[in-house]
Amino acid sequence: MAKSNRLHYIGFPVALVYGIIVCIRNLFFHINLLPSQQYAIPVICIGNLSMGGAGKTPMVEYLIRLLSKKYRVAVLSRGYKRQTSGYVLAGEHCTSQEVGDEACQIKRKYPSVIVAVDKSRRRGMKHLLAMTEGERPQVVLLDDAFQHRYVQPSLSILVTDYNRLFYKDKLFPVGMLREPAGGVRRADWVVVSKCDPALKPIDCRIMEDDMHLQSHQQVFFSGISYLRMEGIWPEECCPRALNSLRKEDEVLLLTGVANPAPLIEEMKKYSQNIKVMSFGDHHDFKKNDVKKISASFAKMNPESLIVCTEKDAMRIRNNPYFPSEWHSRIYYVPIMVSFLFDKGNLFDESILKHISTMENSRILRQ
């Protein structure tokens, strides 16, 4: 019997038991045996059904750019793989060790936004709403909270990767689903992320049909735009456009994310000399890791670069094992969400309408 088949047969009973437990938990929330708290302010959940990188953080950043012009915005995250516990309010010079990769990235890019982490989202909400009136958030974005049901969002956005659509996946450990695909019914909107730019409307209609959504659920299709390379230590190296790379330029591509394939594919458009070193998601680079990186980097020419994802940059910036002589040669590539078929305006208007409706309802209740 092939190894993959053995793993399937071993994993299937585990997935079955896991699925039953998750379904019972969801049922308890549905019949209010487990309490889910609502709030008077807009609370927007951005989550997914699968484990790994569906593109939630770029969607959170998109919402920050949209909403922070008009509202005091807070981002509340679990702070995955941080080395602290409880509620932590991110400071301007926070580290990934204090608040996790995503929260650190968001706070450093958007310092005026409130960023907090707490494994208990309800406790985190309590802290945020206890802020003084002039500081208290007017909108809260819950990062990766689709399964954290003790807080009931006013709007729930489910992000699913075009390359691993939730309805084609299976429950963990056979697949990567955190809960059965039917959980999509809790979402108000579904955003299919990382779409092929050549996607046609007929392809989208087929995907929508396969999702078996309800009439009130909206679907949006989005892609990734790769921006210019930024230095992890910006005082030591200037930004560079990706198209400034030549085919012969040597690049050591470091990835410690769930799905590095899109970045690898993008980098290969510009250089034919890409060496990839992939590590696990949220990998904390140890001394031995850096020794291996150094051995590979030493074989390259003196003009070669190290390039990583933006999340990796959060961990590398304060890592003592990366030598200072590399600082002028290490870059990360930021990404940005872009909506297909000119649906960005519709998405924006729908978000703003949701918030405006909640504001008006609150005023009427007063």
Q: Would you write out the chain's pLDDT as a tens digit for each of its 366 residues? A: 455 566 567 788 899 999 999 999 999 999 999 999 999 999 999 999 998 778 999 999 999 999 999 999 999 999 998 999 999 999 999 999 999 999 999 999 999 999 999 999 999 999 999 999 999 999 999 999 999 999 999 999 999 999 999 999 999 999 999 999 999 999 999 999 999 999 999 999 999 999 999 999 999 999 999 999 999 999 999 999 999 999 999 999 999 888 888 899 999 999 999 999 999 888 889 999 999 999 999 999 999 999 999 999 999 998 999 999 999 999 999 999 999 999 999 999 999 999 999 988 776 565
The whole-number pLDDT of residue 11 equals 84
Q: Is residue 51 part of an annotated ligand binding site?
A: yes
Q: Is residue 103 part of an annotated ligand binding site?
A: no
Beta strands in 127-249 (DSSP E): 139-143, 155-161, 189-193, 218-226, 230-231
The whole-number pLDDT of residue 19 equals 94
- Within 10 A of 15 (CB to CB), how many other CB atoms are there? 19
Residues 6+ apart with CB under 8 A from 303: 249, 250
Could you give the domains of the chain?
A: 36-225+339-365 (3.40.50.300), 228-333 (3.40.50)
Q: Is residue 54 part of an annotated ligand binding site?
A: yes
The whole-number pLDDT of residue 159 equals 98
Question: Quick one: tokens of 79?
Answer: 């702070």
Residues 6+ apart with CB under 8 A from 121: 76, 78, 142, 145, 148, 150, 151
Three-class DSSP labels, 138-167:
CEEEEECCCCCCCECCCEEEEEEEHHHCHH
Instruction: Compute the distance between CA of residue 83 and CA of residue 101 in angstroms, rounded to an integer.
Output: 11
Q: Is residue 256 part of an annotated ligand binding site?
A: no
Across the beta sheet with 305-309, the strand order is 230-231, 330-333, 305-309, 250-255, 273-278
Q: Is residue 53 part of an annotated ligand binding site?
A: yes
CA-wise closest residue to 37 among 161, 124, 139: 124
CA-wise closest residue to 37 among 116, 115, 117, 125: 125
The whole-number pLDDT of residue 2 equals 52
Structure-token match 């590095």, residue found:
260
Decide if 235 contacts 328 (C-beta within 8 A): no
The whole-number pLDDT of residue 281 equals 84
Q: How far apart, in Å, are the Cα atoms of 332 and each of 119, 207, 312?
A: 28, 33, 8
Question: Quick one: tokens of 13?
Answer: 């009973």
Q: How far apart, in Å, are the Cα atoms of 122 and each of 35, 64, 119?
A: 11, 21, 9
- Within 10 A of 38 (CB to CB), how many other CB atoms are there? 9
Q: Is residue 131 part of an annotated ligand binding site?
A: no
Q: Is residue 50 part of an annotated ligand binding site?
A: yes
Residues in the chain, overall count: 366
Calculate the CA dihedral of residues 323, 328, 329, 332 and round it to 10 degrees.
100
- Within 10 A of 6 (CB to CB), how many other CB atoms are there? 10
Instruction: Compute the distance between CA of residue 96 and CA of residue 38 in angstroms, rounded to an integer.
Output: 30
Residue 149, CA atoms < 13 Å, CB-side half-sphere: 18
CA-wise closest residue to 112 among 73, 76, 58: 73
Decide if 68 contacts 78 (C-beta within 8 A): no
Q: Is residue 36 part of an annotated ligand binding site?
A: no
**What's the predicted TM-score (pTM) here?**
0.92
Across the beta sheet with 335-339, the strand order is 88-89, 114-117, 73-77, 139-143, 43-47, 155-161, 189-193, 218-226, 335-339
Instruction: Compute the distance between CA of residue 19 and CA of residue 177 in angstroms, rounded to an integer.
Output: 10
- Within 10 A of 251 (CB to CB), how many other CB atoms are there? 22
- Within 10 A of 267 (CB to CB), how many other CB atoms are there? 20
Instruction: Compute the distance between CA of residue 147 and CA of residue 166 in angstroms, rounded to an integer.
Output: 15
